[in-house]
Amino acid sequence: MTDQAVVSLQNLTVLRGDTTALADISLRIRSGERVALVGPSGAGKSTLLHVINGSVPPTSGRVEVFGADPSSLTATSLAALLARIGTAYQDLALVGPLRVIHNVNAGRLGSWSLGRALRSLVKPVDITAAKVVLARLGLEDKLWVRTDRLSGGEQQRVALARLLVQDAELILADEPIASLDPARGREVLELFCGIARQDHRTLIVSLHAFDLALEMCDRVIGLREGRVVFDAAPENVEPAMARSLYDLGRA
Amino acid sequence: MIGAAVDDRADSLVVTSIATWEAAGRRTADWSKPVGLWTRRLWLVAAAALAGWAFWATGLGRRSLVNPRGWPQVRSFLAAGVHPDLSGEFGKIVVDATITTIGYALLGSLLALVIGLSGGLFMSELWWRRPRHPSGRPRLIWFIIRSLAVVPRGIHEAVWALSLVAILGRDPLVGVLAIGIPFGFITAKVVAEMIDESAVRPYNALRQAGSRRLPAFAYGVVPVVGSDVVSYAFYRFECAIRSSVVLGVIGAGGLGFQFAVSFQAVRSREIWTLIYTVVLLAAGIDWWGARLRATASRRRIVLSLVVALALSILSVVHLGVSFRRATSARTQRLFTRFLHESWPPRLPLGGWHALQRAVLDTLQLSVVAISTAALLAIPLGYLGSRRRTETAGRRAVGWFTRLGLLVLRAVPPPIWASLFLFVLLPGPVPGGFALGCYTIGVLGRLNASVMENIDRRPGRVLRRLGASRTAVLSYADAPLALPRVVALSLYRWEVTIRETVIVGLVGAGGLGRLLGQQQAAFDRAGIVTTVATMIALSFLIDVISSRLRRDLR
């Protein structure tokens, strides 16, 4: 089970216009791994996450997520695949005027039928599941509150709850803590890693905070100019490797 | 040109924010207080009851409203649409009428700009703040000025025109003043709103540093709100063109007057020529305004101002506007008589009962119009909104929807009413539908802009987790757009209340018709009562709708 590949990339190259976003990347990410993608801005971290969730097609090379190539699937099987991948965004992308319950339930839209989705807007379904998830995040009393009336931190946790009810096996997070202060950033990252650890989910998170990546993840991949510079367990990451990522002189 | 006007996307954000400024209510309202589910339900029930009453009272479905003998007339009218009257003789009349209409609109908007800029300054909270307490409550005088400014703004252009005719007689100045005064006070409110919204901090910083009031305004306020004011002024000019056509219908000359003449003679081909002309005119001005707002290029603004000024001088000559009559002894005599006859106000013929009847009719007219329009403007706004990616079919549907909305708002409500009277029996139904048509055109465009400018990210996220298009629409796009759509519809309700006057004047009932009767009987004291009632009614609706906007937010 543990060495089953969730994501497998072979000689992946992505060109965006004239620039090479990703160059010849080969990776295997196994189920249950917590992977941090580190590197300077423009290194290709976001592009890599977008390739994995199927929103950017590879220019060449092979991509397999849960054993299937997202770009070759029919609409129906792509929706089924996407329902297994949860993506967290830095800007949360919540719908402000909706109540918390609906924003949380929106995580299930990939697996719900349309009729069920529309019915739930009138009379919410699966309230218990949503409550359990919110309780875990300390928000159980906010179920019926309009989302835009919550504080920034609470909204962050609502977005996380949406990810949790989606019950995704693979969680992708694109710089989820870039706009937070250090203490809050640590808290949010702990939430992500805690969820991944407890429920045995796979987590791929792109980070600028190098030390947090070393502390909380069990695999760190350094990217620079679209190439993998290193790929190692945190205990094997040398300070020199970090310098090689960010050193501006070595272009 | 129509294509460009119908297809401009960059303009939509500005258009929605303009509508928001106009709709801005008392800012003291407490937006943060959460509102319970029950309050919302109560409002919904009340709204449904009001709409139900309004439609029931029209007799829709209970008695025959359709005049079946009108159908052949409609058919021949529609058939005339493919060959409008393009003869040189009528063409000359149309060109002349178009210049007259533009002239009134232009001079009226210039006057409105002058009133708006000076009035806006004195209506802003900022101007009246005590220097030592920048965050304290503004002085009492501010409240008084603001309350007084409600009056000129609450009186419809048509009513201004009728009153001014009594003093000045048939003078071209009447048309200019009738547009300029109410529009000026609306502009003043909007300018005040802009100042208080965006310029408070820079102004206070300058005052704190010891600057006097006027220099602080020049350095801290004018640069901040300047470009917004310019784009608003041109938006007002677009509205003034529509008003100018409407004033024509009641006698000021120009395209509206030609409409009335051609209708009376039932010359369908001429009516079509006029319809095409107003649509082209509206499209052209939309296009010009959109260009101007899209790029805040200084050169284009300066060019527009120069062109506007040159055209204004031409208009003064063409229309023969002069103050000679306004300053004559005769005018003074008539003005004194006007005031004398107007005071004390008197109840209309039929007493309280007639007044109450007219208020209910006006309310009913406005509710029929706004509820029809609000419901239809949602799907039409959706179809008319532009997307980043769209198929050729969707693009065609969008283009035709936008063209339809342009036609709906370009043709003035009294003309719609006359068209409906081909097949509907006279009464509130054709009037309500006519106002409804016009309101769909305006509201559909506003809704489309709202839908173009909602946050697309939540929808994309749901799409990425496998949600269908309809699910995305119902969980992200619709909940994001709906509060603004509802707010805009409520705001248009207030406007519709005022607009009932013009369909009332042509016979649809309510306070407008009462006004028409009083006008014919020279019952000035009665007119004062009717106008005051009108203002009170629109004030009441304003209070209700800002309550509603807050509670439904």
CA Rg, chain B, in Å?
Answer: 24
| B465·A85 Cβ contact <8 A | yes
Give the distance from residue B382's alpha carbon to the nearest chain A alpha carbon, in angstroms.
Answer: 19
| Residues of A whose CB is below 8 A from B471 | 109, 112, 114, 117
Q: Is A20 helix (H, G, I), strand (E, B) or coil?
A: strand
Check CB contact under 8 Å for A166 and B471: no
Average pLDDT over residues B144-162: 85
Q: What is the dihedral of CA B211, B212, B213, B215, to 10 degrees?
A: -70
Position A42 scores a pLDDT of 84
With beta carbons less than 8 A apart as the criterion, state whether B370 and B433 touch: no
Q: Dihedrals φ, ψ of B533, to 5°?
A: -60, -45
Q: A122-136, B199-213, B366-380, B483-497: which range is least confident on average?
A: B199-213
- Per-residue pLDDT at B59: 74
Collect all residues with Cβ–Cβ distance below 8 Å to B32 and sequence separation of at least 6.
A149
**Integer CA distances (angstroms), A158 to A164, A188, A198, B479, in order:** 10, 12, 19, 17
d(CA B447, CA B494): 17
B48 SS3 class: helix
Q: Provide the CA A33 distance to its chain's centre, in angstroms.
A: 13
Alpha carbon of B476: minimum distance to chain A alpha carbons (Å): 6
Residue B378: which of B307, B336, B466, B440 has the closest Cα?
A: B440
The reported pLDDT for the residue numbered B26 is: 43
Q: Is the pLDDT of residue B108 over 90?
A: yes
Contact (CB, 8 A) for A157 and A139: yes
pLDDT (0 to 100) of residue B451: 86
Report the distance separating Cα B515 and Cα B513, nearest Å: 5
Predicted confidence band of residue A63 (pLDDT cuts 50, 70, 90):
very high
pLDDT at A138 (0 to 100) = 84
Is the CB of B467 less than 8 angstroms away from the CB of A145?
no
Taken in order B293, B276, B97, B437, the sign of the CA dihedral is negative
CA nearest to B231, candidates B289, B147, B154, B282: B289
Comparing alpha-carbon positions, the chain B residue that sits nearest to A77 is: B466
**Out of B455, B465, B482, closest to residue A109 by CB:** B465
Q: How confident is the model at residue B20 (pLDDT cuts 50, 70, 90)?
A: low
Q: Which of B31, B34, B187 is nearest to B108 (CA)?
A: B187
Burial B92-112 (b: 16+ CB within 10 A, else e): ebbeebbbbbbbbbbbbbbbb
From the candidates B40, B475, B551, which should be mutated to test the interface with A, based on the most A CB atoms within 10 A? B475
User: In 3D, which of B322, B312, B374, B366 has the Cα closest to residue B542?
Assistant: B366
CB < 8 Å to A109, chain B: 462, 465-468, 471-472, 475
Pair A46, A206: CB distance under 8 Å? yes
pLDDT over 60 at A251, yes or no: no
pLDDT at position B35 over 50: yes
B468 contacts A114? CB cut-off 8 A? yes
Chain A positions in Cβ-Cβ contact with residue B551 (cut-off 8 Å):
none
Which of B460, B465, B479 faces A166 most closely, judged by CB atoms?
B465
Residue B464 and residue A87: Cβ atoms within 8 Å? Answer: yes
CA distance A171 to chain B (A): 11
Q: Say if residue B282's pLDDT is above 80.
A: yes
Residue-wise pLDDT for B508-521, tens only, equals 778 888 888 888 88
Q: How confident is the model at residue A2 (pLDDT cuts 50, 70, 90)?
A: very low
User: For residue A236, what is the DSSP state?
Assistant: G
Within an 8 Å CB–CB cutoff, is residue A112 touching chain B? yes
CA-closest candidate to residue B349, choices B502, B507, B505, B521:
B521
Q: Which of B251, B283, B99, B263 is nearest to B178 (CA)?
A: B251
**Tens digits of residue pLDDT in A199-217:** 889 999 999 888 888 999 9
Give the CA dihedral B429, B432, B437, B438, nearest 10 degrees: 150
Helix, strand, or coil (residue B490): helix
| Separation of alpha carbons B43 and B49, rounded Å | 10
- Residue B83 makes CB contacts below 8 A (sequence gap 6+) with B269
Distance from CA of A144 to the nearest CA of B (A): 10
Distance from CA of B50 to the nearest CA of A (A): 24
Residue B479 pLDDT greater than 50, yes or no: yes
Per CB-CB distance under 8 Å, the chain B contacts of A56 are none
Helix A127-136 × helix A152-166 angle, to 10°: 130
Q: A169 vs B426, which has greater pLDDT?
A: A169
Residue ranges of the alpha helices (H) in B124-171? 140-154, 157-168
Percent of chain A with pLDDT strictly greater than 70: 97
How sure is the predictor about B196, in pLDDT bands with cuts at 50, 70 and 90? confident
Confidence at B106, pLDDT banded by 50, 70, 90: very high
Phi first, then psi: give them for residue A14, nearest 5 degrees. -125, 125
Q: For residue B467, give the nearest of A94, A110, A146 by CB distance.
A: A110
Residue B132 in this model has a pLDDT that exceeds 70: no
Query: Nearest C-alpha of chain B: how many angstroms from A167?
Result: 11
Any B CB within 8 A of A145 CB: yes
Q: Which of A224-238, B17-31, B120-134, B357-371 is predicted least confidently?
A: B17-31
Q: Compare all CA atoms of chain B with the CA of A55 and give the residue at the minimum distance.
A: B464
Check CB contact under 8 Å for A106 and B462: yes
Q: Give mean pLDDT, residues A94-117.
A: 87
Q: How far apart are CA B379 and CA B478, in angstroms?
A: 11
Q: Is A232 on the interface with B (CB under 8 A)?
A: no
A93 touches chain B (CB under 8 A): yes
Q: What is the pLDDT of residue B31?
A: 42
User: Among the ranges A70-79, B285-294, B430-439, B506-515, which has the highest mean pLDDT value?
Assistant: B430-439
What one-letter code names the amino acid at A240?
Answer: A
Residue A1 has pLDDT above 70, yes or no: no
**Testing the interface with A: which of B31, B455, B465, B469 to mutate, by most A Cβ within 10 A?**
B465
Cα A196 to the center of its chain, rounded Å: 11
Structure-token pair, residue B28? 């003291």
CA-wise closest residue to A32 among A217, A200, A233, A221: A200
> Does the CA dihedral B195-B445-B94-B255 come out positive or negative?
negative
pLDDT, one tens digit per residue, over B226-250 is 777 877 888 888 889 988 988 888 7
Find which of A55, A101, A109, A160 to mutate to test the B interface (most B CBs within 10 Å of its CB): A109
Minimum mean pLDDT among A185-189, B11-15, B115-119: which range? Answer: B11-15
B290 neighbors B136 (Cβ within 8 angstroms): no
Among chain A residues, CA nearest to B33 = A149
If you count them, how many residues does chain B have?
A: 553
CB proximity A83 to B under 8 Å: yes
Q: Is the pLDDT of residue A41 over 90?
A: no
* Mean pLDDT within B458-473: 86
Nearest CA in chain B to A54: B464
Asked if A114's CB is within 8 angstroms of B471's CB, the reply is yes
CA-CA distance, B448 to B474, in Å (whole number)? 17
Instruction: Give tens-digit pLDDT for B494-551.
Output: 888 888 888 887 777 788 888 888 888 888 888 889 999 988 888 888 788 777 777 7
DSSP annotation of B424 reads B
Q: What is the mean pLDDT of residues B347-361?
A: 86
Continuous H helices in B248-328? 255-264, 268-294, 298-319
Q: What is the pLDDT of residues A151-178, one digit of tens each?
A: 888 888 898 888 888 888 899 998 888 7
Q: Which of B149-153, B309-313, B389-393 shows the lowest per-residue confidence on average (mean pLDDT)?
A: B389-393
Suggest the residue from A49, A52, A95 to mutate for an interface test with chain B (most B CBs closer than 10 A): A95
What is the percent of chain B with per-residue pLDDT over 70, rounded to a whole number? 90
**Probe site for chain A from B389, B461, B469 (most A CB atoms < 10 A):** B461
Tell me what the mean pLDDT of segment B470-491 comes to: 87
- Alpha carbon distance A77, B407 (integer Å): 45
What does the pLDDT average to over A219-226?
Answer: 92
**Average model confidence (pLDDT) across chain A:** 86
What does each C-alpha distance from B466 to A55, A170, B82, B106, B498 come to in angstroms?
12, 14, 49, 54, 48
H or E element in which residue B58 lies: helix B37-58
For A130-136, the CB contacts below 8 A with 24+ separation are A130/A101, A130/A104, A130/A105, A130/A161, A130/A165, A133/A104, A133/A161, A133/A164, A133/A165, A134/A100, A134/A104, A134/A161, A136/A164
CB contact under 8 A, B465 and A98: no
- Classify burial at B70, counting beta carbons within 10 Å of its beta carbon; exposed 0-12, middle 13-18, buried 19 or more: middle
For residue B464, what pLDDT is reported? 83
Instruction: Name which of B494, B498, B490 is nearest B447 in CA terms.
Output: B490
Q: Give the range among B24-28, B400-404, B418-422 with minimum mean pLDDT.
A: B24-28
CA dihedral B85, B89, B92, B94 (to 10 degrees): -30
Q: Which chain A residues are within 8 Å of B454, Cβ to Cβ?
A: none
The Cα–Cα gap between B386 and B7 comes to 8
State the pLDDT confidence band at B32, using cuts at 50, 70 and 90: very low
Return d(Cα A68, Cα A82) in angstroms, integer: 11
Beta strands in A110-215 (DSSP E): 170-174, 202-207
Spell out which residues of chain A touch residue B552, defining contact as CB-CB under 8 Å. none
How many angstroms separate the CA atoms of B391 and B400, rounded?
Answer: 14
* pLDDT at position B248: 86
Give SS3 for B239.
Answer: helix
Of B466, B476, B480, the CB nearest to A110: B466
Judge whether B294 and B287 are in contact, CB under 8 Å: no
How many CB atoms neighbour CB A41 within 10 A?
Answer: 8
What does the pLDDT read at residue A65? 92
Query: CA nearest A75 in B: which residue?
Result: B466
**Could you give the CA distance from residue B2 to residue B6 in angstroms, rounded to a whole number?**
6
- With CB atoms and an 8 Å threshold, state whether A96 touches B480: yes
Angle at the Cα of B237 (from B235 to B238), degrees rounded to 5? 65
Q: Is the peptide bond before B344 cis (omega within 30 degrees of 0)?
A: yes
First-residue to last-residue Cα distance in chain B? 38
Chain A: give the shortest CA distance to residue B344, in Å.
Answer: 51
